[in-house]
Amino acid sequence: MEVIKEAKELLKNRKWAVLMTVCGIAGLLLIMISSLLPDKKPAAVCTEQQSVYDSSDYCKDTEKRLADLLREIEGAGEVKVYLTVGSEQRYVYATEGRHSRSDNKTEEEEKYVIVGGGSEKNALVETIEAPEITGAVIVCGGGGDAAVREQIYKAASAALGIPTAKIYVAKIR
C-alpha cells in the first residue's frame, strides 16, 4: 500500500510527469528512426553474393564420412571412397498460389514469394537440396572377402540412399 501512495505522490509532482513525457517521446522517436534504417537480409534469402556450396566440397565431405563409417565394419581395413554426383545443389523457392473453380473451369496461379524492398528484392528460398549422388566406388582391404564386401554394399547403399547396383566394391592393392 505504501508503494501505491508513493506512486500517486510522484505523479502529482509536475517534474516527474514532464520527465516521463520526455522519455515517452524519446522512445517513440527511436522507434521511428529504427524503421528508417535498412534491414539486414534474412538468412533464407538467396542472393548471387552468397557462397554456393560446391558439389566437390559436398562429395569430399560425404566421401570422408562414408569412409569413416565403413572402416568400422569388421574386416574392412583401410577404406577409400569415390562418389559421383549427377547434379549440382538446387534451390527450391517458396511459392504462393491462388486456386479458383467456377462451373467447369479451374484456374491456378502461382507466384514466387518475394522479400525485401526497392532494388533488394529476392525470391525466398524454401529449401536447398544437396547434390544427388549417383554412384560410388569403394576400395578396401577386406574387399576380397565376400562377406565383408556384402556388408559394405549394404552399408553404403543405406548411407547414400542409392541401390547396390550403383556401388562398386573392390579390394585395395
Indicate the DSSP class of residue 124. Answer: B
124 vs 75: which has the higher pLDDT: 75
Do 30 and 62 reside in the same domain of the chain? no
pLDDT at residue 42 is higher than 80: no
pLDDT at residue 45 is higher than 80: no
DSSP strands (E only) in the chain:
79-85, 90-93, 95-102, 105-112, 114-115, 122-123, 125-129, 133-140, 167-171
pLDDT of residue 48: 39
- Domain total in the chain: 2
By residue range, what is the domain housing residue 23? 2-36
Which pTM does this prediction carry?
0.54
Do 32 and 78 reside in the same domain of the chain? no
For the chain, what percent of residues have pLDDT higher than 70?
Answer: 87
Do 27 and 109 reside in the same domain of the chain? no
Do 84 and 12 reside in the same domain of the chain? no
Do 74 and 20 reside in the same domain of the chain? no
* 77-122: pLDDT as tens digits: 999 999 988 877 777 888 887 777 777 788 788 887 778 777 777 8
Do 100 and 22 reside in the same domain of the chain? no
pLDDT of residue 20: 77
Residue 44 lies in a domain: no
Do 22 and 62 reside in the same domain of the chain? no
Mean pLDDT of 129-145: 89
What is the pairing mode between strands 90-93 and 133-140? Answer: unpaired
pLDDT, averaged across the chain: 81
